[in-house]
Amino acid sequence: MRLLLVSGSTRAASGNTATLRTLAEVAPPGDEFDLYDGLSALPAFNPDDDEPPLPPTVADLRSRIEAADAVVFCVPEYAGTIPGSLKNLLEWTVKGAQLSEKRVSWINVANLGRGDGAQANLEVVLGYVGAVVVGPACLRTSVNGLSRSDRGTFVDPELRAQLGDIWKAFAET
């Protein structure tokens, strides 16, 4: 099992990225992860540029999705929906269809009562690109106030167990 982990936050101290780092840390032996780090480097989507030769950052994104068995998104809410930078990433996958029939899940770590717009809109876009959302591998939780290790990962045992269950859910689907 190889998971591509895509954070929708470009912030250095991002809780969403820290959640994905923690998901990587609890990977079962033998399973693999790829923490995507290219969100800020993607150019603004332009259909004129969606032709060979692709911008190198776009080619890199597409090959990393293709190499993954599944993709996990952990995305903050900005202005009631997903961050524009993540929507931009998803638009770069439409023509290449890299997410079509790809298993995906989302993790929503917004404070309780927040983040519903991002979650709902992410589901809309994932549906549009033909991704297969694996329900048991999705997680609604909160990381508010949780302490972090020196590696920038969460140490909370309950969260780590919940994240471990994501690996199991993908293994079982």
Considering the rule CB under 6 A, would residue 45 count as an interface residue with ligand FMN?
no
Considering the rule CB under 6 A, would residue 76 count as an interface residue with ligand FMN?
yes
* Closer residue to ligand FMN in complex, CB, 51/79: 79
Q: Please pick, from the candidates 43, 80, 127, 136, the single residue that binds ligand FMN as defined by CB under 6 A.
A: 80
Considering the rule CB under 6 A, would residue 16 count as an interface residue with ligand FMN?
yes
Considering the rule CB under 6 A, would residue 20 count as an interface residue with ligand FMN?
no
Q: Please pick, from the candidates 40, 79, 150, 157, the single residue that binds ligand FMN as defined by CB under 6 A.
A: 79
Instruction: With beta carbons less than 8 A apart as the criterion, state whether 24 and 68 touch.
Output: no
Size of site (CB under 6 A) for ligand FMN: 13
Shortest Å, Cβ 44 to ligand FMN: 17
| Bridge partner list, 104 | 71, 133
Query: What letter represents residue 26's amino acid?
Result: V
Do you know the residue count of the chain? 173
Interactions with ligand FMN, residue window 103-142 (CB under 6 A): 110, 114-115
Contact footprint for ligand FMN (CB under 6 A): 9, 11, 14-16, 76-80, 110, 114-115
